[in-house]
Amino acid sequence: MPTHFSQLSSSLNSFAPRLLDWFAENGRHDLPWQQHQTDTPNPYIVWLSEVMLQQTQVTTVLPYFARFMASFPTVQDLAAADWDLVAEHWAGLGYYARARNLHKGAKQLVTVIEATSDFPQTLAGWEAISGVGPSTAGAIMAMGLHHYGVICDGNVKRVLTRWAAIDGDITKSATTKELWTLAERLTPNECSGLFAQAMMDMGATLCTRSKPACLLCPLQDDCLAHAEGRETDYPVKAKKQAKPSKFSNALLIESIDHDILWLQRPDNGIWGGLWSLPLQFVEKITGNVTGKSEKATGDTLLDVRSNEKVYEVEFTTAEQIISEWLIENKLVAESVSNTLLDDAPIKHSLTHFHWYLTPQKLTIDATQMAGLNKKLVAADIAFKWLTEQKAQDSLGLPRAMMKIIER
């Protein structure tokens, strides 16, 4: 153990009993994926919930979990489902790579079950499944199988950094190693699943980010951050740099029958496998204003002639085809409204940048539609012509597209 834990040496053995006593009286025991009250735990349910709960709050996950369980009650059901149906169920939950890994992982798990007649029974076996890291694997081992397992997710890291006053940057590998060492020391060999549930509840309900309820905490007597009145100083994390911004037009290409063109995004990248309106990347033109820092002075629609490298990165193959088709046919999308308010970009924040999407509309005739369809089919592009309502009802749409539909 790191040397500065010597202050807590007398409390290490009592940590788990105190936490478990608190959990028995005050913890959450009615979440649909919890398995601590059953003698025959279901690792599928725990795996599904753990993937959904990554960087997402319980209240947000609950309806999605219920929908998945209704449609895919077993891992075999999930593995056999078409991706479009899985994407439709996930749409709006965000961090879409999780959904891709979930679907891929279900197929991997079915292969394991067909070979062994059971789910993986080891930590390494679960870590071999797509999207499953050490903490998720530990949670499944502890809660989904009632074996020994250790978790060290964001909630746990917050509890431990405060209790032990660990002042290292939690984004650094050295601090991560230190936290895992402490988590392993504190996790009891028996009832590690209960302990995992309790640690999650502690971080989610008491030891919260901004307003920890220290007076209700069973660990307050020896919590070093509490003793110093510095609870919110932990965990220590390098200050985030300001997110950059991207700007795109979202094209509502409408047929004379009022259907709109929807494209399936490539498997890799943002919104992988989901459906989206065609997007046009917009470059912001900057200029020096009276000797001061650069400031946006206008914008221009990016095309292959202006910056081939950026164009190929920012436009999918389908969007490149559509962009070139628009130029060939001298077609230009116009504002969806003549009012300034309705024409304002829709802001959508992703992990690494803010995305400003401006809806623009273009109506094409039957001949133009046939020509565009021919180009997309020739390039093996997945596309559909649907009204906004039908797209919302039948396609997996990212939240940004829902914002445009709901505008």
What's this model's pTM, rounded to 2 decimal places? Answer: 0.81
More confident residue, 215 or 11: 215
Dihedral, CA of residue 373, residue 376, residue 379 and residue 383, to nearest 10: -120
Mean pLDDT on 253-265: 95
Per-residue pLDDT at 286? 46
Residue 10: band (very low, low, confident or very high) from pLDDT cuts 50, 70, 90: confident
State the maximum Cα–Cα separation within the chain, in Å, rounded to a whole number.
80
| Residue 341 reports pLDDT greater than 50 | no
Amino acid at 229: G
Q: Are 361 and 332 in contact (CB under 8 A)?
A: no
Find all residues with CB under 8 Å of 168, minimum gap 6, and list them.
174, 175, 178, 236
More confident residue, 56 or 337: 56
Which residues sit opposite 54 in a β-bridge? Answer: none
pLDDT in tens, 188-245: 999 999 999 999 999 999 999 999 999 999 999 999 999 999 999 999 988 877 888 8
> What's the chain's average pLDDT?
89
Residue 301 C-alpha from the chain's centroid: 30
Per-residue pLDDT at 291? 42
| Residue 7 reports pLDDT greater than 90 | no
* Strands 279-288 and 294-301, bridge-based pairing: antiparallel
| Residue 338 reports pLDDT greater than 90 | no
Per-residue pLDDT at 406? 84
CATH for the stretch 3-233: 1.10.340.30
pLDDT in tens, 349-378: 888 889 999 999 999 999 999 999 999 999
Q: What is the DSSP letter of 371?
A: H
| Residue 299 reports pLDDT greater than 70 | no
Find all residues with CB under 8 Å of 54, minimum gap 6, and list them.
95, 98, 136
Which residues are tagged catalytic? 50
Domain ranges within the chain, ordered by starting residue: 3-233, 245-405
Phi and psi angles of residue 34, each rounded to the nearest 5 degrees, phi first? -70, 135
The reply to whether 3-233 and 245-405 are identical in fold is no
Three-class secondary structure of residue 30 per DSSP: coil
Q: Is 304 exposed, middle or buried (0-12, 13-18, 19+ CB in 10 A)?
A: middle
Mean pLDDT on 253-266: 94
C-alpha distance from residue 76 to each of 43, 108, 109, 214 (Å): 13, 10, 8, 44
Per-residue pLDDT at 48? 98
Decide yes or no: CATH 3.90.79.10 for domain 245-405.
yes
More confident residue, 301 or 315: 315
CA–CA distance, 363 with 260 (Å, rounded to integer):
9
Residue 293: band (very low, low, confident or very high) from pLDDT cuts 50, 70, 90: very low
Q: Which of 15-29, 284-298, 302-316 has the highest mean pLDDT?
A: 15-29
Residue 405: band (very low, low, confident or very high) from pLDDT cuts 50, 70, 90: confident
| Residue 1 reports pLDDT greater than 60 | no
Dihedral, CA of residue 245, residue 249, residue 250 and residue 255, to nearest 10: 180
Per-residue pLDDT at 243? 86
* Strands 279-288 and 383-386, bridge-based pairing: unpaired
